[in-house]
């Protein structure tokens, strides 16, 4: 049902886009940061995601696609796939399997259109000495010939999608919130860039666009989501969103798909038959900084 | 309308003065322009022109913000004796103090705006039109208390001065309730600003219930320090009478506050270092460096030494009563607290990061330029306000007797 209506929306939007482009070209000069005056005006007064009507969201998606075409020369498809009912996502990582290859990091960068020059990465893999779990002793930039290095172990860290997220409480304009499927998202068009959420996050999961993110056109992932991997503007905060553009369509997050060791397990916490529920029921799991009470939906375990 | 005449006369007075006055205004305006140019660089290229990073995501701007909220709050130290204890000598200068509060809040707000990645979206904070995340977000609280404090410090002096302008005594019953509100509000602005930091378990360095009291104590040292210096300058450049008893009272308050402030610093040091855990990493970085990085070490020791010298001067009564020594103590306290509560508080909160990475921060020339511009703007605002306030208090600016509205 949802894919049907999605196709219809897409067709309708393509049609509208045709109209919009036509009028825009005829009426206005592209002097507004490469945008037409209408687009710049609509962008400025765009409401926050949760208060936009369906039509307004459609128009916003249109503008996002036009902007990407203008800025990167790429035809992207920006969707608004809603959360599926009865789904709350969770993640678990088998740290005895992780070998520190960082394939997850690279896959995430590509999948989520992260700024290449700004080198933003949603995932950090920490290298620690065997027998040491003090994060302050970790190496964030380990660079040996080959991994794994003898005597080291590896700890991938990313947004824990806390169930009581301190970043959401911190935001003065409600530009970040938890979706019904448990994903903490950011409305990049509503964020004012105060970075209070970054100060509030105990996992260093939030990243700021200090500069305009640069993405080579040929590397752009054109399958995007409003709350996910669409190209971000400068001056706003972003973070891991469990690949919302994939996972809401039943696909795995890119980091899990890329992991060559099978350390990563992602799934629906509300489904008793899911693999993640099996892990939670049968493995010794722990959460990072659990004592802070943020209730991460991200667990670690070992064989 | 008399109000409009009052405002026009006030404005005219602000821009009337000898050549030296104009040179002073001109110099400040030049620095403001320099700051504006630097800010335009930041707007063009983004916050990448600052020294901030994902690791240290707040820097010089927020440091100055935290410090200036304290200066603004310190105006209450004139408001309480003036209005509650009815000290006539302090009543003469309380309006100058409130002018300083207005300037300090203005600067604080400007520093926050300078720090924003998207200042064009500031309207998202407006209630109803935008989404104001109050009462959950501490930053929303801070915006609220600072705005109201600014209004209170504009409204009360406005009423008092308007009465003087019309040659009347202000009706104490009318504005006293607002004075009481302003008193509590002054404490609230700095407490909320402390909570902004201490509310974050993610940052152990800030996450201490002592932060609120520390903020108030240090503000009540740095605020009077600035007021004492400023009042002496006002006394020198104008014919306005400022009683020495005002300065004596402020010096005494400052002495006590600085003692308490230093005691709090000692308490923090003991608690963190006696059994040094991971919790102490940031303070270790601040005072001794961590993993070979120590860019704040010199600064924090300097701050500590300045404050210690100041407190010794202040505690020896004969020394404190000598203007020269008092002034030295004021300058040392002001600089010391500025370092301690500014960079010394904000930056170590980010070092190491919650994932244990050590990444240092150094403000860039753009940040320093913008900050200089904001400070100059604040001083300019204060100069203009003080100029008008003093002229009206002295009766130099008042309603013309032939004004037909005079009897109203």
Domain ranges of chain B: 2-393
Q: Which residues contact A192 (CB under 8 A, 6 or more apart)?
A: A172, A173, A175, B116, B117, B118, B119, B121, B122, B124, B125
Structural domain contains residue A283: yes
In angstroms, rounded to a whole number, what is the distance separating the alpha carbons of residues B68 and A245?
A: 44
Cα of B304 to nearest chain A Cα, Å: 26
Please state the domain count of chain A: 2
d(CA B198, CA A179): 27
Q: Looking at the structure, tell me whether residues A250 and A223 fall in a common domain.
A: yes
Over the stretch A78-94, which tens digit does the pLDDT of each residue have? 999 999 999 999 999 99
Helix and strand element counts for chain A (H, E): 9, 12
CA–CA distance, B404 with B406 (Å, rounded to integer): 5
Write the DSSP string, B253-276.
HHHHHHHHHHHHHHHHHHHHHHT-
**Distance between first and last Cα of chain B:** 10
pLDDT over threshold 70, residue A30: no
Distance CA A51, CA A54 (A): 9
Residue A113's region, left for phi above 0, alpha for psi from -120 to 50, else beta, is left
The pLDDT tens digits of the residues spanning B367-388 come to 999 999 999 999 999 999 999 9
pLDDT tens string A227-281: 999 999 999 999 999 999 999 999 999 999 999 999 999 999 999 999 999 999 9
Nearest residue, CB atoms, A210 vs list B48, B58, B120: B48
Q: CB of B247 within 8 A of CB of B93? A: no
Establish, for the pair of chains A and B, how many residue pairs have beta carbons separated by less than 8 Å: 148
Domain co-membership, A94 together with A212: yes
In chain B, pLDDT over 90 holds for what percent of residues?
95
Evaluate whether residue A53 is within a structural domain.
yes
| A48 and A106 co-located in one domain | no
CB-CB neighbours of B404 under 10 Å = 7
Contact between chains at B352 and A175 (C-beta distance less than 8 A): no
Residues of A in contact with B196 (CB under 8 A): 196
Q: Which of B45, B202, B278 sits opposite A136 (nearest CB)?
A: B278
What is residue B274's predicted lDDT score, i.e. its pLDDT?
96
Query: Does residue A126 share a domain with residue A39?
Result: no
| CA pair distance B328, B344, nearest whole angstrom | 22
Alpha helices in A213-274 (DSSP H): 244-247, 254-258
Do residue A194 and residue A298 come from a single domain? yes
> Do A169 and A205 reside in the same domain of the chain?
yes
CA–CA distance, A240 with B408 (Å, rounded to integer): 65
Specify if A154 maps to a domain: yes
> Would the CB atoms of A193 and B200 count as touching at under 8 Å?
no
Residue among A289, A278, A293, A296 at smallest CA distance from A94: A278
- 3-class DSSP assignment, residue A203: coil
CB B320 within 8 A of CB B326: yes
Tell me: ipTM over 0.85.
yes
Confidence of residue B279 (pLDDT cuts 50, 70, 90): confident
Which residues in chain A touch residue B350, judged by CB atoms under 8 angstroms apart? 199
pLDDT band at B407 (very low <50, low <70, confident <90, very high): very low
Residue A81 falls within a domain, yes or no? no
Report pLDDT for B42.
98
Tell me B82's DSSP state.
Answer: I
| Mean pLDDT, range A192-207, rounded to an integer | 98
**pLDDT confidence band for A7 (50 / 70 / 90):** low
Query: Which pLDDT score is estimated for B372?
Result: 98
pLDDT tens digits for range B31-62: 999 999 999 999 999 999 999 999 999 999 99
C-beta atoms of B202 and A175 within 8 A: no
Q: Is residue B24's pLDDT more than 90?
A: yes
What's the average model confidence in pLDDT over B68-95?
95
pLDDT digit string (tens) for A105-135? 999 999 999 999 999 999 999 999 999 999 9
Q: What's the DSSP call for residue A125? A: E
- A80 lies in a domain? no
Say yes or no to pLDDT of B404 above 70: no
The answer to whether the beta carbons of residues A83 and A179 sit under 8 Å apart is yes
What is the pLDDT, as a whole number, of residue A14? 52
Final residue belonging to a domain, choices A75, A98, A128: A75
Helix (H, G, I), strand (E, B) or coil at A186: strand
Mapped onto helix, strand or coil, the DSSP state of residue B401 is coil
Q: Looking at residue A28, what is its pLDDT? A: 44
Q: Is B358 exposed, middle or buried (0-12, 13-18, 19+ CB in 10 A)?
A: middle
Query: CB–CB of A96/A303 below 8 Å?
Result: yes
Does pLDDT of A6 surpass 60?
Answer: no
Is residue A123 one of the residues assigned to a domain?
Answer: yes
pLDDT of residue A12: 52
DSSP codes, B323-335: HHHHHHHHHHHHH
Least Cα separation, residue A201 to chain B (angstroms):
6
Q: Would you tell me which residues 111-170 of chain B have a C-beta closer than 8 angstroms to some C-beta of chain A?
A: 112, 115-122, 124-125, 130-133, 136-140, 143
CA distance A235 to A216: 20
Helix B88-115, helix B365-393: angle, nearest 10: 150
Q: At what angle do helices B323-341 and B297-315 cross, to 10 degrees?
A: 150
CB contact under 8 A, A198 and B57: yes
Please check whether residues A137 and A206 belong to one and the same domain.
yes
Fold of B2-393: Formate dehydrogenase/DMSO reductase fold (1.20.1630)
Q: Say whether both A19 and A122 belong to one domain.
A: no
| pLDDT for res B401 | 72
- Choose the closest CB to B116 out of A48, A120, A193: A193
Q: What pLDDT, on the 0 to 100 scale, is given for residue A159?
A: 98
Q: What is the mean pLDDT of residues B94-102?
A: 96
Q: What is the β-pairing status of strands A184-186 and A176-178? A: antiparallel
* Residues A35 and A161 grouped into a single domain: no
B173-215 pLDDT, tens digit each: 999 999 999 999 999 999 999 999 999 999 999 999 999 999 9
Decide: residue B394, CB within 10 A, 0-12 exposed, 13-18 middle, 19+ buried.
Answer: middle
Please check whether residue B233 touches A, CB under 8 A.
no
Same domain, A70 and A92: no
At A50, is the pLDDT very low, low, confident or very high (cuts 50, 70, 90)?
very high
Question: Is-contact B99 B91, C-beta < 8 A?
Answer: no
Q: Do residues A66 and A119 share a domain?
A: no
| Among candidates A137, A174, A203 on the partner chain, residue whose Cβ is nearest the Cβ of B354 | A203
Partner residue facing A173 (CB), from B50, B120, B133: B133
In a domain, A83, yes or no: no
Q: Which domain holds residue A244?
A: 88-303
């Amino acid at each position: 049902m949802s894919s049907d209506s999605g196709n219809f929306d897409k067709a309708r939007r393509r049609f509208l886009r045709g109209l919009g482009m036509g009028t825009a070209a005829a009426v206005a000069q592209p002097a507004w940061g490469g945008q037409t005056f209408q687009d710049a005006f609509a962008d400025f007064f765009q409401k926050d995601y949760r208060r936009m009507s369906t039509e307004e969201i459609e128009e916003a998606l249109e503008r996002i696609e036009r902007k990407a075409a203008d800025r990167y020369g790429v035809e992207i498809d920006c969707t608004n796939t809603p959360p599926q009912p009865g789904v709350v996502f969770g993640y678990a990582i088998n740290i005895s399997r992780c070998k520190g290859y960082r394939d997850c990091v690279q896959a995430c960068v590509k999948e989520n259109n992260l700024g290449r020059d700004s080198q933003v990465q949603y995932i950090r893999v920490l290298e620690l000495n065997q027998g040491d779990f003090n994060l302050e002793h970790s190496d964030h930039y380990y660079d040996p010939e080959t991994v794994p290095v003898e005597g080291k172990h590896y700890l991938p860290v990313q947004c824990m999608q806390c169930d009581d997220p301190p970043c959401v409480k911190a935001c003065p304009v409600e530009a970040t919130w938890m979706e019904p499927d448990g994903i903490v998202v950011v409305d990049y068009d509503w964020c004012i860039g105060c970075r209070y959420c970054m100060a509030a996050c105990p996992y260093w999961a939030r990243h700021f666009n200090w500069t305009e993110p640069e993405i080579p056109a040929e590397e752009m992932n054109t399958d995007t989501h409003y709350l996910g991997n669409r190209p971000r503007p400068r001056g706003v905060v972003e973070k891991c969103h469990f690949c919302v553009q994939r996972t809401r369509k039943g696909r795995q997050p890119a980091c899990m798909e890329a992991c060559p060791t099978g350390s990563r397990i992602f799934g629906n916490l509300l489904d008793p038959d899911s693999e993640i529920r099996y892990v939670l029921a049968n493995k010794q799991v722990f959460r990072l900084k659990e004592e802070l009470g943020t209730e991460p939906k991200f667990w670690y375990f070992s064989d | 309308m008399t109000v409009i005449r009052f405002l026009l006369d006030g404005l005219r007075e602000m821009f009337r003065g000898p050549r030296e006055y104009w040179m002073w205004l001109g110099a400040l305006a030049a620095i403001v322009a320099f700051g504006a140019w630097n800010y335009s660089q930041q707007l063009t290229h983004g916050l990448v022109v600052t020294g901030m990073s994902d690791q240290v995501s707040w820097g010089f701007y927020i440091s100055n913000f935290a410090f200036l909220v304290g200066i603004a709050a310190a105006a209450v130290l004139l408001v309480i004796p003036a209005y509650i204890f009815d000290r006539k000598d302090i009543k003469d200068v309380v309006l100058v103090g409130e002018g300083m509060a207005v300037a300090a809040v203005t600067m604080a707000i400007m520093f926050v705006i300078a720090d924003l990645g998207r200042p064009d979206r500031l309207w998202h904070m407006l209630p109803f039109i935008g989404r104001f995340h109050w009462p959950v977000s501490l930053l929303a609280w801070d915006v609220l208390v600072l705005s109201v404090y600014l209004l209170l410090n504009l409204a009360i002096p406005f009423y008092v001065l308007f009465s003087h302008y019309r040659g009347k005594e202000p009706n104490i019953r009318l504005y006293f309730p607002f004075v009481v509100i302003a008193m509590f509000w002054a404490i609230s602005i700095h407490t909320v600003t402390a909570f902004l930091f201490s509310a974050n378990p993610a940052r152990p360095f800030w996450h201490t219930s002592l932060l609120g009291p520390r903020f108030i104590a240090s503000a009540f040292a740095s605020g009077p320090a600035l007021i004492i210096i400023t009042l002496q300058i006002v006394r020198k450049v104008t014919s306005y009478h400022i009683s020495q008893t005002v300065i004596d009272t402020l010096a005494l308050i400052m002495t006590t506050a600085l003692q308490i402030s230093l005691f709090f610093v000692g308490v923090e040091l003991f608690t963190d270092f006696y059994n040094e855990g991971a919790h102490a990493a940031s303070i270790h970085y601040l005072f001794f460096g961590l993993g070979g990085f120590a860019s704040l070490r010199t600064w924090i020791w300097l701050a500590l030494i300045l404050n210690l010298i100041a407190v010794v001067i202040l505690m020896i009564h004969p020394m404190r009563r000598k203007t020269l020594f008092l002034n030295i103590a004021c300058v040392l306290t002001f600089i010391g607290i500025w370092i301690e509560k500014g960079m010394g508080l904000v930056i170590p909160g980010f070092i190491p990061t919650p994932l244990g990475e050590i990444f240092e921060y150094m403000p860039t020339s753009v940040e320093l330029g913008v900050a200089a511009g904001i400070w100059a703007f604040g001083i300019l605002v204060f100069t203009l306000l003080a100029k008008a306030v003093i002229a009206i208090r002295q009766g130099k600016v008042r309603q013309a007797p032939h004004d037909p509205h005079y009897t109203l």
